Amino acid sequence: QKEVEQNSGPLSVPEGAIASLNCTYSDRGSQSFFWYRQYSGKSPELIMSIYSNGDKEDGRFTAQLNKASQYVSLLIRDSQPSDSATYLCAVSLRGYQKVTFGIGTKLQVIP
């Protein structure tokens, strides 16, 4: 079982819709959770960090964490074509500086 699992996609949504990206993780000691956005040919860019159960909102982005079910999700409201990218989920254990990444979900926003 991979430590961090994501559906590789592609996930296609129409412009203006809500895109929902999901991630599960295997280690219950995980403490920190991150979402990165990566455009084709570019480096990953941190867009959200979440550390406690519940929702965290930043503009059109909402990260949701459920430690009991071991999943973390990212919602993108009012999706735009510029949101088309690969979204990487990443997880870190308590007390460790290493981060484990999922393979990423490719999102396509159709105009």
Partner 1 sequence: DAGITQSPRHKVTETGTPVTLRCHQTENHRYMYWYRQDPGHGLRLIHYSYGVKDTDKGEVSDGYSVSRSKTEDFLLTLESATSSQTSVYFCAISGLGGNNEQFFGPGTRLTVL
Q: Which residues bind partner 1 (CB under 8 A)?
A: 32, 34, 42-46, 49, 51, 88, 90, 92, 96-99, 101-104
- In the complex, least distance from residue 96 CB atom to partner 1, rounded to whole angstroms: 8
- 70 close to 18: Cβ distance less than 8 angstroms: no
Choice between 1 and 97, CB closer to partner 1: 97
Q: Kindly state the greatest CA–CA separation across the chain.
A: 43
- In the complex, least distance from residue 77 CB atom to partner 1, rounded to whole angstroms: 23
- In the complex, least distance from residue 14 CB atom to partner 1, rounded to whole angstroms: 27
Is residue 93 classed exposed, middle or buried when 0-12, 13-18 and 19+ CB atoms within 10 A define those classes?
middle
Choice between 39 and 81, CB closer to partner 1: 39
Q: How far apart are CA 14 and CA 54, in angstroms?
A: 27
- The residue whose two tokens read 């979900």 is 105
Choice between 17 and 56, CB closer to partner 1: 56
